[in-house]
Amino acid sequence: MNPTFTEDNPIPYSRLVFMGTPDFAVPSLNALLEAGEKVAAVYTQPDRPKGRGQKLTYSPIKEKALSHDLVVFQPPSFKERKAVDQLAELKPDVLIVVAYGLILPRTVLDLPAWGAINVHASLLPRYRGAAPIQWAVINGETETGITTMRLDSGMDTGDMLLRETEPIQDNDTALSLHDRLAGKGAQLLLHTLEFLRQGTLESIPQDHSLATYAPPLKKEQGEIPWGRSVKEIDCLVRGMTPWPRAYTFFKGKRLIVHQAVPDPSEREGIPGTIFSLENGLIRVHTGQGVLAISEVQLEGHKRMSAAELIRGFSFQVGERLGR
């Protein structure tokens, strides 16, 4: 049953609990606050050690929440009854979940009067999972989007609420697409809440036979397979930006490829072979086509342009990149 909006009951729920962790969730929390929503508390993952000093660091959502004097909770999980009881004491009417990163058991999902609404960065049922933006770019998709959904006990399997598409540009990285989708997700969340209040929000079951998955990325998945086409490699480089980054090897040292584009040259050669160092670009043969590398980082050195690398290291035409 959906809540009904009336003049006597202009806000059928007034206590939202927000759950999120990374940068992607920040625009959604910010949009709720700017819209005057009452956020009773914010849940985010525990502080994590970061950097060389392994200093405990707040999540982006915790920083945003504290800047607005919101109450913050950081349970490591909801397996213990104490964490569930703590949430129950807040008497949430709705849970808003945006890239939280923790599994919510049925005992949590049953707490809010009007359920749990999730903002997911794909057009469900495609790309369920933790890294939908990255995999959409890596797989060469031309379109993705945002879906708001009702959470259930499965992984992104709940009924869909609202969806909005977003084109993927030829030069999009996972970062640039992430930023656009984060903003779009925030606005779609506000529309979802508006329709929920009006009692006009429809739940649409997913077609599970069409589901695809976007598991978390691993560093080793960034190694460039030079035998594949330049289009596939270009998508990999862009999809692995800003993390974990695409890379190859030069004389046994890891070489991160920060920026590269397909080269219009139709020359053919052994995949991974450098065939040109002209104009400050490292042009490399792939299984089909040529990749022009413009920005890199050699193991043990700072990020630099390909031109700087060419000047400072013994790169030669005919050498091979890779293991």
pLDDT tens string 102-134: 999 999 999 999 999 999 999 999 999 999 999
Q: Which residue has the tokens 């690398």?
A: 309
pLDDT at 302: 97
Instruction: Report pLDDT digits (tens) over 125-176.
Output: 999 999 999 999 999 999 999 999 999 999 999 999 999 999 999 999 999 9
Domains 16-210 and 219-312 in one fold: no
Q: Using an 8 Å Cβ cutoff, are 44 and 81 in contact?
A: no
pLDDT at 13: 52
- Please spell the DSSP secondary structure of 93-149, one letter per residue: SEEEEES--S---HHHHTSSTT-EEEEESSSTTTTBSS-HHHHHHHTT-SEEEEEEE
pTM for this entry = 0.94
Secondary structure (3-state) at 70: coil
Residue 1 has pLDDT above 80, yes or no: no
Determine whether domain 219-312 maps to CATH 3.10.25.10: yes
pLDDT band at 236 (very low <50, low <70, confident <90, very high): very high
- Buried/exposed code over 210-244 (b: 16+ C-beta within 10 A; e: otherwise): ebeebeebeeeebbbebebbbebbbbbbbbbbeee
Domain 16-210 in this protein, CATH class: alpha beta
Centroid of chain to Cα 183: 12
pLDDT band at 53 (very low <50, low <70, confident <90, very high): confident
Task: Indicate the domain borders of the chain.
Answer: 16-210, 219-312
The lowest-confidence range among 9-18, 94-103, 167-176, 213-222 is 9-18
Q: Find all residues with CB under 8 Å of 4, minimum gap 6, and list them.
A: 12, 198, 199
Residue 5 has pLDDT above 80, yes or no: no
Residue 290 has pLDDT above 80, yes or no: yes
Residue 7 has pLDDT above 50, yes or no: no
Q: Find all residues with CB under 8 Å of 200, minimum gap 6, and list them.
A: 2
Q: Which helix (H) or strand (E) holds 28?
A: helix 26-34
Main-chain phi, psi angles of 153, to 5 degrees: -80, -5
